[in-house]
Chains A and B, each alone.
Chain A
């Protein structure tokens, strides 16, 4: 398929008729284009780290996710893209059972971390979250010192008992997060005193301090300026050597820069998932094409 052509967006305030036509076309696109029965592309890999089949999520009677199936490979960076409200964050939160905290949320389907069923009633959620960590959209360091922020996870999971071990974990995590040089002299300063970008890196350090296998990132750069964003994107590439990463992002450029495979969500359905380069240069489904060319989203 040829590269899709950009539809000309009419300038604001000039031609109302042309603008209305474009809007109608877009609405027609989302209503008339049928969803694919099966996800287009290659959503599955061999020996996946996380295997998710027929995932359905309901908020009371509202179905937010319709039968999503995909794999996340070992040490792979998978990005989830799609228009607002299409269920990317909801889906991400299923992977470490953060949806449990929302009373009206019900999750169905088969979700596995390697051989462990995530929704096994015998599974301790606390243990799961030590294996699958999460970085949130708005940096949320604890109102404690930088050291205590990073050390909190290892402390509660009993990963380090002696101060020496704890110091080592804190330093390693801060180095991996690219924050060590900037804070090594003030480890006991409050974490909330850092800049936005530094706080987010602190949250990343905090998350990797417990040595998780998978790191989930929910739009980690959306609250940051471009320079901080660039630093974190570099970080993600480095981290993928040791961890499996799933990142939700609104920025297609970011997805293109950072991830190996990209999954396109539309209104709770997984439309297409493929190698990132393929998705952005040769999308197979019309909806995907419409989204990445900017006709909606």
Chain B
């Protein structure tokens, strides 16, 4: 016995050392992963947080009926098409009376957002009695001016403004007319050429409708297919063939589903382009293998003793499945579906192929209106030239990541809650 102990003792140190090495490798690998994650998040957040607020300039605007070209207050069309831009520009010019030349004036006006006047329109439409009065209100700055204030003083040279414009902005700042507020248009407007007016609501709604269609198609079809394959299908070469194909489909590059959508759904069936309905159908095909595979695993996990008990009582095959197997497999199926949805939410390539890449300004009101989705919106903004779109791109990425993290968290919580211990 003591001979063995001696031998064991000698190798013990070596075994512990190799164990420590293994642990170190494991921790090192995790650290690298975490580091990458931290770098990613730091980069995105640092670039994107500035898109959530915006600067405005406080101007004293005189709602002069002559300037606005509004004679009859009750005429809705006049109210809508009034020359609010002129009124706003007049107000700005009053602050800088020395600006005379046409080119200089143009530079001055470009400091304001092109939509600055619409706020006045909305106010006047709501309360026509304001006509003729003088109001002081914060108006949206143009994206370059906005960016100027968002930069630290050292970086202000990088902004694409000429020296005149920069000195005017500094004057406005010194006069304490510059205020900061939440960027409302980010979550209330659709896409726009102007960065200060661009919002992701259109993309969010498009993603929402697409996900809705995907969920309502892929979940029932996937679950039904899984039940059939697990419970009712005969075990022969044909079903084996089907199983192999389903597993392979899960690995097919997603853009191929886009090609399928283009060729079959648009070409053959004549479905409308760029609509969430079509996007949902294409994404259904993509997530179906995931849903089927996870549903099958959930069904397999139901203990055979329950099935035997039900069958022993005289339950038919269908009753065993509906009354016992399905309720017990449902948590696993739901988890698989949520993870499949999270995957589909981030898909861009197949949707590009079917046209959900167009520049769409209007907000979609249903699955049949043309729309774009959040990942595609990110792609479009990333390719736009204005400097301000950099922040917007990162902001959109943050929103998308937020949705994905939420969905995955729900899936994990759901799985923990509904897990049963046998």
* A interface residues with partner B (beta carbon < 8 Å): 96, 98, 101, 103, 126-130, 133-134, 136, 138, 140-143, 152-153, 156-157, 203, 206-207, 210
Contact = CB atoms under 8 A, between A and B. Distances in A.
23 contacts: A96-B312, A98-B308, A98-B312, A101-B308, A103-B235, A126-B315, A130-B313, A130-B314, A134-B312, A136-B305, A136-B309, A136-B312, A140-B305, A140-B306, A140-B309, A141-B309, A142-B310, A152-B313, A152-B323, A156-B314, A156-B319, A203-B309, A210-B313
Listed residue (A136, A143, A207) with the most chain B CB atoms within 10 angstroms of its CB: A143
B316 interface: yes
Contacts of B420: 143
Contact of B305 (A96, A138, A206): A138
B332 to A, nearest CB: 14
Interface of B: 235, 303, 305-306, 308-316, 319, 323-324, 328, 420
A142 B309 contact: yes
Contacts of A143: 306, 328, 420
Given A103-B235, A156-B319, A140 B314 contact: no
Contacts of B303: 140
A129 B314 contact: yes
A126 B305 contact: no
A79 to B, nearest CB: 19
A206 B312 CA distance: 10
Given A103-B235, A143-B420, A156-B319, A210 B314 contact: yes
Given A136-B305, A143-B420, 19 more contacts: A98-B308, A101-B308, A103-B235, A126-B314, A127-B314, A129-B312, A130-B313, A130-B314, A133-B312, A133-B313, A136-B309, A136-B312, A140-B308, A140-B309, A142-B310, A143-B328, A152-B310, A152-B323, A153-B313
A156 B315 contact: yes
B313 A129 contact: yes
A48 B308 CA distance: 27
Contacts of A98: 308, 311-312
Nearest to B303: A140
Contacts of A127: 314
A210 B312 CA distance: 11
Contacts of A136: 305, 308-309, 312
B307 to A, nearest CB: 8
A20 B78 CA distance: 113
Nearest to A131: B314
A104 to B, nearest CB: 10
A214 to B, nearest CB: 12
A278 B309 CA distance: 35
A159 to B, nearest CB: 11
Nearest to A209: B313
A169 B75 CA distance: 78
